[in-house]
Amino acid sequence: MSSSTTDTLVRMANDISNFFRIQPEDQAVAGTADHIRRYWEPRMRAKMAEHLTHGGSGLNAIALKACERACKSVSSAPIYRGGT
């Protein structure tokens, strides 16, 4: 995935967090993280996890916290490749 993909994921995470920002911060972070876990493909979360290792630039405060919750474990999780 290219840097334009990262830019798109950052924009998407910020947009999702903006939907939840009317709630108290802890609920907004939880709602954003839940949405990302449910609807983003593992490769999207892995790309965001990679972006977080470089500081997560461009993410607003809620999106940053939510991505840390929803995406950090993806990069360390084994990838199922099929078989037995």
Q: Quick one: CA dihedral 31, 9, 68, 17, positive or negative?
A: negative
Task: Give me the domain span that covers residue 64.
Answer: 3-73
In a domain, 82, yes or no: no
Q: What is the pLDDT of residues 11-57, one digit of tens each?
A: 999 999 999 999 999 999 999 999 999 999 999 999 999 999 999 99
Q: What integer pLDDT is reported at residue 77 of this predicted model?
A: 47
**Higher-scoring residue by pLDDT: 19, 76:** 19
Q: In which band, very low, low, confident or very high, does the pLDDT at 80 lie, cut at 50, 70 and 90?
A: very low
In a domain, 79, yes or no: no
In a domain, 43, yes or no: yes
Q: What integer pLDDT is reported at residue 72 of this predicted model?
A: 80
Cite the beta strand spans of the chain per DSSP E.
none
For residue 66, give Cα distances in angstroms to 2, 11, 25, 32: 22, 14, 10, 6
- The secondary structure element, H or E, covering residue 7 is helix 3-20
Please state the domain count of the chain.
1
Whole-prediction pTM = 0.83
In a domain, 46, yes or no: yes
Task: Give Cα 10 distance to the centre of its chain.
Answer: 8
